[in-house]
């Protein structure tokens, strides 16, 4: 149907001519109340946001985890134009690795993984063993103190 004919039909029925699929060939239009259409689309968008799962990202303290003998996975997420400059993310991860060099060693070098760059840092082996021994000694001391305590 021609545009003029569709507009005339819309005026006759006191509705609006709304283009619903502009990319289709030919573009698809409907006769409807535009205010009602906008309201319903806003309601759908609000409902979609409400049903969207919230992602919880736990940000850890790299030094605390390495001192505790845990490995740390660091992820740099690139957004928009940042994706064209992965070397900046690489430099950032290298600087972080240098900052925590006394606590841990790079287990997996920075590598691009889609929009993200990922690196894994592990605690030094001797430090991890020392920390594990310290934890087990602390647990033994606590259990020995419980055994010596008089029972009521």
User: Given a cut of 90, is residue 94 above it in pLDDT?
Assistant: yes
Cβ neighbours around 105 below 10 Å, total:
14
pLDDT tens digits along 62-91: 888 888 888 889 999 999 888 888 999 999
Give the three-class secondary structure for 109.
Answer: strand
144-to-59, 74, 136, 140, 150 alpha-carbon distances in Å: 36, 39, 12, 6, 12
Does the domain spanning 62-128 belong to CATH 3.30.110.10?
yes
What residue spans define the domains of the chain?
3-51, 62-128
Q: What is the pLDDT of residue 57?
A: 47
Determine the CATH number of domain 3-51: 3.10.20.80
pLDDT tens digits along 140-152: 777 776 777 665 5
Question: Could you tell me where the DSSP H helices lie in 103-151?
Answer: 125-148
User: What Rg do the C-alpha atoms of the chain give, in angstroms?
Assistant: 31
pTM for the predicted model, two decimal places: 0.47
Q: What is the pLDDT of residue 43?
A: 94
> Between β-strands 28-32 and 16-21, what pairing exists: parallel, antiparallel or unpaired?
antiparallel
């Amino acid at each position: 149907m021609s545009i003029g004919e569709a507009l005339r039909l819309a005026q006759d029925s006191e509705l609006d001519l709304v283009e619903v699929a502009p990319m289709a060939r030919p573009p698809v239009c409907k006769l409807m109340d535009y205010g009602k259409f906008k309201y319903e689309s806003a309601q759908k968008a609000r409902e979609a946001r409400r049903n969207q799962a919230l992602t919880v990202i736990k940000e850890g303290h790299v030094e605390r985890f390495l001192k505790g003998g845990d490995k740390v996975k660091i992820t740099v997420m690139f957004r928009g134009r940042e994706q064209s400059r992965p070397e900046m993310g690489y430099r950032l991860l290298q600087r972080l690795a240098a900052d925590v060099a006394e606590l841990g060693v790079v287990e997996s070098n920075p590598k691009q993984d889609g929009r993200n760059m990922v690196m894994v840092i592990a605690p030094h082996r001797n430090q991890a063993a020392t920390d594990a021994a310290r934890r087990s000694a602390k647990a033994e001391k606590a259990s020995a103190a419980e055994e010596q305590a008089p029972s009521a």
